[in-house]
Amino acid sequence: MKSVAIIGAGITGLTSAFYLKRAGIPVTVYEMSHRAGGVIQSIRSNGYLAEFGPNTILETSPKITQLIRDTGLESRRLDPDPKAEARYVVRDQRPIEMPGSPLGFFTTKLFTPMAKLAVMREPFIPPRRDGREESIAEFVVRRLGREFLDHAIDAVVAGVYAGDPQKLSVQQAFPKLAALEAKYGSLIKGQILGGRERRKRAEVARDRAPKFSFDEGLQVLPDTLCELLGEAVRLNTSVTRLTQTAEGWALDLVAKDGEWRAEHSAVIYAGTAFQLAELGVEISSALSSPALGANRRALDLTSFSEIRYPPVASVALGFRREDVTHPCEGFGALIPKIEGFKILGTIFSSSLFPNRAPAGHLTLTSYVGGERYPELASLPAERLVELTLQDLRALLGVRGEPTFQHCAFYPKAIPQYNVGYGRYREMMSDIEMKAPNLFFAGHYRDGISLSDSIVSGCNIAARVENQLASSHALLS
């Protein structure tokens, strides 16, 4: 059997390659950059360990636990300090701990009595049944009130998507919220009643899922997968064109040492949506003789370039412990736009995991840009540090100068599942129907988080395995 080509050595591509290889199916992973891991980037420098892309994996599915077991990484897994559970949201210029219980909700200073009353009324608000797609902002205002949007959801949306709540679709970006309303008529009723069903499916709600990393940061996972895949991973190799053939797909490849063509039985595209728009894909409507070049036509993938990926910069700063007034015990602080800060939020990185800063020091990782202030993300590193410091001084009582600083810029960071995004998902399903043995997986299709990408990689490997087994059965 010819190997399955996987385009992209981010976590989706590597996970799918790993499971296909374990199933005895040969694989080749093509990655255009010089390193594996995609947006995952951990660096160690001067006693600090900094993450620039994702910081933690949420263990939302047993497939994630299984991957860690299957890759032999259990002993390198690092669970956060139990004290790091607290999450803060900024209100009136200071971080306030998010309530973790119903009692905490009634006593928190995060919301006014009016907002609390609006939340208590939520179970009595009739569900919307007209099927119209809504933004997360419209949805939240309708069910929980304006204050809840401005002082909580806006901050969460910036922290998860670096997105704009007025544009993100509740059905596409937060499908579980939309489903709670559709099924139970209320978010609060659904939270209570839905727990039993989640337990049955062995799923864990995102807000309760354990989070973890590894002793040397998240990069450990792609590095280990790469080692286990060995020569199957080809770095510095771009795929520029796919052409359907009688036996599968021919890939045009470009590397430093030249250009060539490789034949594969199937292809998994695990890159980004904006790079997909640049890929040439030629299919043949005469499947019996595609090798003859009859009825060939190029697919128009340009619409995938419309998917917005706003720029984000991450700014990791180290400080002497005594130079920071706030205890910084917890996960971090999210900042709603209404508070007027430049950063979107900050993660208390060295409180989360023990080995992230030298003794007597701490690390704070802040994010700049996103849909809120896209123009700020591309500022030079010294300006990013300056504006981040200004916010951290006001928010956390930071004094003195940083003992460590490092910035990373993602010109296209996270896809925005805005209202209308379903059209792109339909296009992908449609192409998969028209172009057998071409599959799409990853953050632009199956959810934007690292855990979604891992689950997407596992699922696509199973689909490809089934597909190849059934075509083999048909031929034999």
Ligand X SMILES: Cc1cc2nc3c(=O)[nH]c(=O)nc-3n(C[C@H](O)[C@H](O)[C@H](O)COP(=O)(O)OP(=O)(O)OC[C@H]3O[C@@H](n4cnc5c(N)ncnc54)[C@H](O)[C@@H]3O)c2cc1C
**Nearest distance from C-beta of residue 26 to ligand X, angstroms:** 18
Residue 241 or 337: the one with the smaller Cβ distance to ligand X is 241
Q: Which residues bind ligand X (CB under 6 A)?
A: 7-13, 30-33, 38-40, 53-56, 58, 238-239, 270-272, 275, 279, 312, 314, 410, 413-414, 442-443, 448-451, 453
Question: Rounded to whole angstroms, how far apart are CA atoms 151 and 147?
Answer: 6
Residue 301 or 394: the one with the smaller Cβ distance to ligand X is 301
Q: In the sheet where 438-440 sits, what is the strand order?
A: 233-234, 27-30, 4-7, 266-269, 438-440
Residue 188 or 270: the one with the smaller Cβ distance to ligand X is 270
**Nearest distance from C-beta of residue 450 to ligand X, angstroms:** 3
Residue in the structure block whose two tokens are 């910081």: 55
**Nearest distance from C-beta of residue 203 to ligand X, angstroms:** 16
Residues in contact with 379: Cβ distance below 8 Å, sequence separation at least 6, in sequence order: 313, 368, 387
**Nearest distance from C-beta of residue 376 to ligand X, angstroms:** 14
Contact 316, 52 (CB under 8 A): yes
Contact 326, 399 (CB under 8 A): no
DSSP states of 263-282 as a string?
A: EESEEEE-S-HHHHTT-EEE
Contact 74, 63 (CB under 8 A): no
Residue 3 or 56: the one with the smaller Cβ distance to ligand X is 56
Residue 70 or 122: the one with the smaller Cβ distance to ligand X is 70
Burial class (CB in 10 A: 0-12, 13-18, 19+), 231: exposed
Type of residue found at 85: E
**Nearest distance from C-beta of residue 143 to ligand X, angstroms:** 25
**Nearest distance from C-beta of residue 369 to ligand X, angstroms:** 9
Type of residue found at 128: R
Nearest of 399, 473, 428, 454 to residue 64 by alpha carbon = 454
Residue 55 or 71: the one with the smaller Cβ distance to ligand X is 55
Type of residue found at 397: G
**Nearest distance from C-beta of residue 120 to ligand X, angstroms:** 31
Residue 118 or 266: the one with the smaller Cβ distance to ligand X is 266
**Nearest distance from C-beta of residue 209 to ligand X, angstroms:** 10
Residues in contact with 74: Cβ distance below 8 Å, sequence separation at least 6, in sequence order: 68
Contact 31, 11 (CB under 8 A): no
Residue 143 or 445: the one with the smaller Cβ distance to ligand X is 445
Phi, psi of 213 (to 5 degrees): -145, -155
Q: Which residue is nearest to ligand X (CB)?
A: 38
**Nearest distance from C-beta of residue 11 to ligand X, angstroms:** 4
Type of residue found at 384: L
Residue 219 or 437: the one with the smaller Cβ distance to ligand X is 219
CA distances (Å), 275 to each of 149, 272, 306, 361, in order? 33, 5, 11, 40
Residue 39 or 328: the one with the smaller Cβ distance to ligand X is 39
**Nearest distance from C-beta of residue 269 to ligand X, angstroms:** 8
CA distances (Å), 250 to each of 3, 244, 466, in order? 11, 6, 21
